[in-house]
Amino acid sequence: MKFTAKQIAEVVNGIVEGNPDITIQKVSKIEEGEPGSISFLSNPLYTHFIYKTEASIVIVNKSFISEHPINSTLIRVDSAEVAFAKLLELYNQIKDTKSGISKQCFIAESAILGENLYVGEFAYIGDNVQIGNNVRIHPQVYIGDNTRIGDNTVLHPGVKIYSDNIIGKNCIFHAGVVIGSDGFRFVPQNEGNKKIPQIGNVVIEDDVEMGANCAIDRATLGSTIIRKGVKLDNLVHIAHNCEIGENTYIAAATGIAGSTKLGKNCLISGHVAMAPHLTIADNTSMGGATGVSRSLTKPGLSYLGSPAMEVSKFRRSIVHFRNFQEIVNRIEKLEKERKQEKSIN
């Protein structure tokens, strides 16, 4: 589809500077812009590209002042980054407009389906499943018995949702996400470890997004809970009976052990590991590869290291870590000198 600069300006509440009738049909990075594409400039480090880009339209901040001639048509907005994000969201919606139910999927007779669905090839929808309106279920998705899925949720190819789970509205699960697999619980016995049955479920509230290959375990009893607005990167594992607070962001390769509870608005970087049965306060931040072995109950603090310590303490300590061998050598030298003094006396 083609759009004019005038049409785009209306969408992003911008002002056209140049040809309002010029058209675009794709998006591009400003340094790779080509005719027929739209790009944006928000980071000053990329300003030099705007003078040589071939993009037909560039979205810029209203405050942008040109120092050289620009060939592209400009659209001035309050925030170029926000406006471009809005356009990308619209682009995704237009691109992913599939609808209808494939003849090659399986839907149980007892399932209750909403309106305007897309169900792709080889998808499976089990007994007593309830699916809301405008849900998109891509090929090879599995939805187990008694599961409920809210309006406008998108399940990308290969998502697996076990039985009895609850998924809210406006959620996005990327390829390979697994919801409701068994929690990792065993009882050591003389004849070997005995598996503890996991009979709980997973409850995911509205507006949650999960990256590729995330795994959320069902609770032993009760529910593993992912609160409203949580965003998970790829390869995040959340174990049985955990609770993740509203609007918390968790980056890739993070693992959270059973029954740990995170507060609201936490920012968890990549490769963080959390022990079981912990409580993490609201607005907590953790740097990459932080190892958390105890509860962090003071809200609003930032942590680094393993075991986790407050950032200010970690930065002071890292100076000593780096000089550790030198400190050891000095101590050994002092001890040697002291022994020599004793032997002389």
- Give the model confidence (pLDDT) of 131-152 as tens digits: 999 999 999 999 999 999 999 9
Of 95, 125, 144, which residue constitutes the final position of a domain?
A: 95
Q: Tell me the mean pLDDT in the region 197-224.
A: 98
Average pLDDT over residues 306-335: 87
Residue 318, pLDDT above cutoff 90: no
> What mean pLDDT do residues 159-165 have?
98
Are 253 and 137 found together in one domain? yes
Catalytic residue among 48, 156, 240, 320: 240
pLDDT exceeding 90 applies to what percent of the chain? 84
Same-domain status, 24 and 105: no
Please list the residues that pair with 67 across neighbouring strands. none
- Parent domain of 143: 100-314
Site of tokens 């030198």 = 326
Question: Is 240 known to be catalytic?
Answer: yes
* Model pLDDT, residue 25: 93
Residues 151, 172 within the same domain:
yes
CATH number at residue 66: 3.40.1390.10
pLDDT tens digits, one per residue of 64-120: 999 999 999 999 999 999 999 999 888 887 777 788 999 999 999 999 999 999 999
Q: pLDDT band at residue 345, thresholds of 50, 70 and 90? A: low
Q: Please check the confidence at residue 218 and state whether its pLDDT lies above 70.
A: yes
For residue 145, count CB atoms less than 10 angstroms from its CB and return exposed for 0-12, middle for 13-18, buried for 19 or more: middle
Average pLDDT over residues 221-245: 98
Q: Residue 225 and residue 259: Cα distance in Å, rounded?
A: 10
Q: What is the DSSP string of 53-117?
A: ---SEEEEETT---SS---SEEEEES-HHHHHHHHHHHHHHHH----EE-TTSEE-TT-EE-SS-
Residue 341 lies in a domain: no
**pLDDT greater at residue 53 or residue 337:** 53
Within a 10 A sphere around the Cβ of 231, how many other Cβ atoms?
16
Q: Mind listing the pLDDT tens digit for each residue in 269-282?
A: 999 999 999 999 99
Q: What is the arithmetic mean of pLDDT over 153-176?
A: 98
Q: Which is nearest to 278 in space by CA: 305, 310, 252, 239?
A: 239
Q: At what angle do helices 324-344 and 311-322 cross, to 10 degrees?
A: 60
